[in-house]
Structure 1
Amino acid sequence: MRIVSKAVRNSARGKNCTLRLPGCNHNPETTVLAHLPTGMGGMGMKSPDNLAVYACCSCHDRLDSRTKGAEIDWRDITRALAETQQQWIEEGLMKIKGVAQ
């Protein structure tokens, strides 16, 4: 199932970067929903929206290898995914069956 959500994509506007890689610009005005490189996409296809994080333009460029730098520590990606999904749960954009909100 391909998960695409305009609400999830729009939720990134004005949010703090959850990726925070070295070189992060910490500017919420540049934050977008950055899809993680999961191998679930294809040529020109993104990962599902539930496998994405809030990333400033600097971190997004780094994640997509548009800029060079040290190898990305996958613990940063896991942390960012957890922080992003927690925000979605708190905002009602993601629901976990059996959890009262």
Structure 2
Amino acid sequence: MTRIVSKKLRDSARGQDCTLRLPGCRFNPEYTVLCHLPVGMKGMSMKSPDLFAAFGCDHCHGVIDGRIKGEYDHSDLLRALAETQMKWVQMGLLTVKGVA
């Protein structure tokens, strides 16, 4: 597995709206961080690549990581990932070759 760690992607979450929006979400950009999604590449002291992450408040992040009791559906993660990656495209942090 290629390890993708990007300070720019991690820092890009600062001040953003939570894209996870799980029940109990704070809806407050002051608490948003980059949340690594459980996509089968996580483990004890191992995070998925920064590319597989979403903007999330501390509550939603806790639910995803299992520190806070709550439920989510995989469609929540896919929606949040898509919204986050589109934000990265708008910010110029994620580009696709051959797309004008």
Which interval holds the TM-score relative to the shorter structure?
over 0.9
**Normalised TM-score (structure 1):** 0.94
Structure 1 residue 40: deviation in Å? 1.2
Q: Distance in 1 between matches of 2:30 and 2:91?
A: 19
Q: Give unmatched runs, 5+ long, in structure 2.
A: none
Q: Which residue does the alignment assign to 2:77?
A: 77
Correspondence 1:13-92 to 2 at 5 A: 13-69=14-70, 71-92=71-92
SS of residue matched to 1:79: helix
Q: Which residue does the alignment assign to 2:12?
A: 11
RMSD: 0.8
Structure 1 residue 38: deviation in Å? 1.3
Aligned residues: 99
**Normalised TM-score (structure 2):** 0.95
Structure 1 residue 41: deviation in Å? 2.8
